Structures are given as structure tokens and as C-alpha cells.
Amino acid sequence: MKGYAMLKIGESGWIEKDAPQCGPLDAICKPLAVAICTSDIHTLWEGALGERHNMILGHECCAEVTAVGSLVRDFKPGDRVLVPAITPDWNSLEAQAGYSMHSGGMLAGWKFSNFKDGVFAEYFHVNDADGNLAQLPAKINVVDACMLSDMVPTGFHGVELADVQFGDIVLVIGIGPVGLMSVAAAALRGAAEIIAVGTRPNCIAAAKEYGATRFISYKDGTIEEQVLALTNGKGVDKIVIAGGGVDTFDAAIKSLKPGGKIGNVNYLGSGSYVNIPRVEWGVGMGHKQINGGLMPGGRLRMEKLGALVAAGRLDVSLLSSHVFAGWNHLEEALFLMRDKPADLIKPVVKL
């Protein structure tokens, strides 16, 4: 079969590989549509996970099941499914401890385009099919379904990690597709105000639709100065970080009230250390929490988030700014994600 692979750091292309084999608990699937993720860019061009050779890229798609193992109960060939980017081993000790995304080791629940071949291929393999796949609701089209692989669960997880509550003033740093879903989730959780940080005009327009009430640009001075100016010097209750880099934590701590919480879902692709400003961290005693996490995967979460979209409570269609048709556009879509033109939110390829 054909797959689009990372040949080595900085180089990618189409390769031929054997089609994946199906174990007793597994499924083999064929993508119906795939989306490119900023994480693919960190992995391929920044080498953020380290070297990978001939590894098929991609972890965002929806798909049709083509084969299932003898022990799979709830899925059969022909089913159309939602596929989470993170596919844990549900019988692992880490999953039993509540951290399925780290089943088998840190970040090891993230298998596609990390520890095994991803979804930019004619066929791909899903471990623990009953635990990880979800039926694709008939009301959700294949382009929107791709947003449920990663953008919705990651953006929503940022809001869970920041523990957003009714009436909170929330700062969302980064309003690419992930941060936009954090804005939407903060609004669903009852935030009173949502301050969004970003510059791309269509991301700002989408953030308004999702419930952002104020906007600041990280290009117009420091984030903390602008946040403190907007909040009478008090800072915000909660912060979701979905963009920036290692230095963004400094700005976040300085923008946060004592007792505030930061939820980071940004993939720190470069830099060795995250520096915490000593004084603004309350000289170690400010009760300012930092939680960083990989999105949870799994069937239950996919079913619940899918239900939110199917019920019309969450419109993900604003995210897919560039929709292509056919595998021959995959590389173009990938390069678009790398170059991030001003009108880009998310590129999707229908198959």
C-alpha cells in the first residue's frame, strides 16, 4: 500500500509499505478524510520527537473499518468510525491509574505517527478497536469528523486542565484550531470573559463566534502587560496555553491571579527548559498551578464529543478552512500547515 511518510527529520514523501496486519483485538481501517496537524509539523520539520525513518505520518482522520480481529465485539467491516489521535492500551496500569494517554510510558498512548505508522495511508491499524473507535454519527460529515480526532479533544482537555468554572475570566493563548476549541469549551463551561491571543484574522473571527470577548496580539507588546491592563492589574482566573513556546509560561504566570490554574496543551517543539518567574510565582507560594497534558483518547470520549457535535451544541465547521479532494493534494495540505498563510485554520483532505 501507499503511505505518506517522514523519511527522516526534514524530509517526507510517498512510500510503499506492506498493509498492516490485524490482531485479535484490532481493526484495520481505510481513511475517508484526513487532516494535517501542527504536531505533524513539529515531528517532521523540528524533529521534536527525535529521528524517525519511513514512518507514515498523520493522526487525524475518520475512516471505514475494513477488517476486525476475532475478539472485536462492537465494530465490523463497513462501519464508518471516528478515530482518536490517541489510542491507549486500555488494559495498561497507566490507564487504570487514570492516565490512559501514557499507557506503556510517557506519551505512549499517542501511537499514530509517533510509535507506529499513522493514518496518511491507504490502510492503518487501530489497537484495541472496541476501546478506541467510535461509530461516526450520521449527522456528522467526514470533514467535521476529522476535527474530532484531535482538535476538539485537545482544545477541550486544555480547559479541563485549567479547571475552568462558571464566571471565570479565562485567557486562551493561541487561537489556532486547538485554541479555538479551547475558546468553545471555555464558553460551554460558563466562562464570564474569554481573552484570546492570536493574530490571524480568520482565527480571530472564528474565536468571536466561539465566544471570545477580548483580543490581544502577542506582537503588540507582552501578553502579561496587555492582560493586566484589561483586568485592572489583577490577572485572570484560568489560562489555556495552545500556542507560543517555552517562554509563554513566563507570560502566563505573570498574567495569572494567585490560586489560578494553567492548562497547557501546546506541544513544545523546541527549547530545553520552561522558566517560571520566581517573584510572580509568589516566590514559590502563589498557588499558581501548571498542568500540561496530552489529549485523552478512547471510545467514550469520542462518543461524548461526537454527541456534542451531532446535537448542534458545537459547530466545528469553522475550523476546516482549506478542504482538498484526493491523496494527490496531501503534500500540498501538509506544506500549507507548515507555512501557515494568514487565511489558514486547518487543511483537510477528503478521499
260 makes contact with ligand NDP (CB under 6 A): no
- Span near ligand NDP by CB under 6 A; candidates 14-22, 171-179, 229-237, 319-327: 171-179
Report, in Å, the least distance between residue 283 CB and ligand NDP.
Answer: 26
Among 162, 164, 294, 302, binds ligand NDP (CB under 6 A): 294
Among 145, 152, 197, 227, binds ligand NDP (CB under 6 A): 197
214 makes contact with ligand NDP (CB under 6 A): no
179 makes contact with ligand NDP (CB under 6 A): yes
- Cβ-based nearer residue to ligand NDP, 117 or 150: 150
Report, in Å, the least distance between residue 78 CB and Zn ion.
Answer: 26
CB atoms within 10 A of CB 267: 20
Report, in Å, the least distance between residue 69 CB and ligand NDP.
Answer: 27
Structure-block grid coordinates of residue 343: 487565511
Residues in region 295-314 near ligand NDP by CB under 6 A: 295
Among 178, 194, 309, 333, binds ligand NDP (CB under 6 A): 178
Please check whether residue 206 is in contact with residue 180, taking contact to mean a CB–CB distance below 8 angstroms.
yes
- Cβ-based nearer residue to ligand NDP, 245 or 259: 245
Contact residues for Zn ion, defined by CB under 5 A: 37, 39, 150
What is the distance between the alpha carbons of residues 183 and 84, in angstroms, rounded to a whole number?
Answer: 21
- Cβ-based nearer residue to ligand NDP, 206 or 351: 206
Q: How many helices (H) and strands (E) does the chain have?
A: 11, 16
200 makes contact with ligand NDP (CB under 6 A): yes
215 makes contact with ligand NDP (CB under 6 A): no
* 248: partner contacted, choices ligand NDP, Zn ion, none (Cβ within 5-8 A by kind): ligand NDP
Beta bridge partners, 193, equal 169
Report the sign of the C-alpha dihedral through residues 339, 340, 342, 344, in that order.
positive
Rounded to 5 degrees, what are φ and ψ at 40?
Answer: -60, -35
* 203: partner contacted, choices ligand NDP, Zn ion, none (Cβ within 5-8 A by kind): ligand NDP
